[in-house]
A and B are shown apart, each in its own frame.
Chain A
């Protein structure tokens, strides 16, 4: 069971101190999140190029990162700027204009916030006991009803109800703590 939040705090502090290895750790941890964000606005063929620029920029301005803030949010903020730069330089303006309009407006910021939130939810889910995480993932990601979960796992309906309720309580505590710290 990995504590992603603790790992991100450690990575952020080392990045702020200028440790090159922290950039690689940041990439392993946040690379998928940044790719998901870029893929929504940048043509697929350009995503890898922009991704490289984002993480080099993360290193170049690492002293500006405040370890008290969300590393996810800070890195996605850089990704948004680099994506905007990239789209404005593209020659196929018909494609670029739509993407630029979306990413430079509220949509770009809201999407970044949603992705940061989703990544926090993933991290919090990973902190749950397996039995609680299992029923929650079946309910929210596979669309199972509680009765269907009981059938699938061959456990009483009452057990599904209790595990789900306890899991949601714990998940809320983890998420509220994450936001509070950052």
Chain B
């Protein structure tokens, strides 16, 4: 008895001929193995077909037929507020209005010095162990980074505030700056608390902070802080 496992997809998509369908039906009625394969194929086929029919932008965002969803809006105001609330500050009764949130501050690429932690041999951080490093690019102003456990706290309050169209993003990079790992955005108060597993930090050697345009997800190429730890 020849199984028909490899032909099941063609049966479901309508590519099989009439004779192939009838022969497959006859086989399936008496073959428990192929019946089980058919059940699994139906689950996958139905899932793919539903997704493509009702949510192509979700299941196939890169395909031409899928309407692009566009970049994610910047929610750094929300995240900054949440961090304040989590740290014990009273919740602010505010309304986030994107249109009303435009700040007057210009983007000033002031330079900086960054303080970073040293990692011990196990890859975990030594709390409070900071190292001041030379400014990166045109940087002149310092910031501080502290890692405790798997959390990185960034204090960049001495950096200039950015307008609503820009934000600071924290990255891990290797020594040659050939690979980058995004850690997260710094809030409009120029502070951030970001998750950073020790295993991830161990794969990189430096921390960078870049200036990003709102909704920009890839690296902008404009870093204002950098310090090596590895």
Q: State the 4 A-B residue pairs at the shortest beta-carbon distance, nearest first.
A: A118-B55, A118-B51, A172-B40, A168-B44
- Give the shortest distance, in Å, between A58 (CB) and chain B (any CB): 10
Chosen A-B contacts, 8 in total, with CB atoms closer than 8 Å, are A32-B69, A55-B75, A118-B51, A122-B61, A164-B6, A165-B41, A172-B44, A172-B47
Please classify the interface of chain B as helix (H, G, I), strand (E, B), loop, or mixed, using the class held by over half of its residues: helix
A172 and B41 contact, CB distance less than 8 A: yes
Listed stretches B81-89, B108-116, B122-130, B140-148; interface member: B81-89
Listed stretches B8-16, B17-25, B204-212, B218-226; interface member: B8-16
**How far apart are the CA atoms of A111 and B194 in the complex, in Å?**
33
Q: Which residues of A contact B (CB under 8 A)?
A: 14, 18-25, 27-28, 31-33, 35-36, 39, 48-49, 51-53, 55-56, 59, 111, 114-115, 117-122, 124-125, 136-137, 139-142, 145-146, 158, 161-162, 164-165, 167-169, 171-173, 175-176
How many contacts between A and B, using CB within 8 angstroms? 160
A20 and B83 contact, CB distance less than 8 A: yes
A168 and B75 contact, CB distance less than 8 A: no
B58 and A19 contact, CB distance less than 8 A: no
- CB within 8 Å for A142 and B63 given contacts A21-B195, A24-B184: yes
Q: Which residues of B contact A (CB under 8 A)?
A: 5-10, 13, 15, 37, 39-41, 43-45, 47-52, 54-61, 63, 65-66, 69-70, 72-73, 75, 77-79, 81-83, 85-86, 96-98, 151, 184-185, 193-195
**How far apart are the CA atoms of A48 and B96 in the complex, in Å?**
10
A161 and B51 contact, CB distance less than 8 A: no
- Give the shortest distance, in Å, between A48 (CB) and chain B (any CB): 4
Chain B's closest residue to A111 (CB) is B54
Pick the contact of B48: A19, A55, A114, A140 (CB < 8 A). Answer: A140
B55 and A36 contact, CB distance less than 8 A: yes
Chain B CB count within 10 A is highest, among A59, A121, A122, A175, for A121
Please classify the interface of chain A as helix (H, G, I), strand (E, B), loop, or mixed, using the class held by over half of its residues: helix
A171 and B72 contact, CB distance less than 8 A: no
A172 and B43 contact, CB distance less than 8 A: yes
B8 and A56 contact, CB distance less than 8 A: no
Given A21-B195, A59-B82, output 6 extra A-B contacts at Cβ < 8 Å.
Answer: A21-B151, A24-B194, A59-B78, A119-B58, A165-B8, A165-B41
